[in-house]
Amino acid sequence: MNIRQAMLADLPTIAALHAQCFAQGWDEEFIGCILAQPGAFAFLALEQLVPAGFVLVRAAGGEAEILSLGVSSARRRRGVGAALVRTACMHADEAAVVDVFLEVSVENLAARALYDRLGFRKVGRRLDYYEDAKGAARDALVLRRALPL
């Protein structure tokens, strides 16, 4: 697996992966707006040149937030997500980030297990934060991890 920092040319790939992974997929324009913000960065994982996953992060004031992490359904349970989070956290640590935060659906047990293995801990809960594919509101857990990972 190869993980590299994403470029603007990767927007279509990231948007396609995001749409595959989430009921409310983000389009190229939205992802481009995120990456145009100061402190924002993304990484793309490739397995034999095939896009396997992505992570989008925004950092400011010593903190970073993982805005989105997605892994292609065909490549899940192979360590892609963990490798992306580790890479993003190393990059954030090099940029003097002290803490990384994220939100995860209370129902996303696979992601919660991944974040738990990586040392993220619950620091809050956002009621009705997500909307599932059927339009039902779902709570999110707010997780935090001190760096370095």
Residue 107's pLDDT is 92
In the chain, what are the domain boundaries?
Answer: 2-146
Q: Which helix (H) or strand (E) holds 112?
A: helix 109-117
Task: Report the mean per-residue pLDDT for the chain.
Answer: 96
- Asked whether residue 134 carries a pLDDT value surpassing 90, the answer given is no
Q: Which is nearest to 104 in space by CA: 46, 54, 144?
A: 144
2-146 topology per CATH: Aminopeptidase (3.40.630)
User: Given pLDDT bands bounded at 50, 70 and 90, which one contains residue 45?
Assistant: very high
Mean of pLDDT values over 20-34: 94
Asked if 99 contacts 145 with a C-beta cutoff of 8 angstroms, the reply is yes
pLDDT, average across residues 65-84:
96
Say if residue 13's pLDDT is above 90: yes
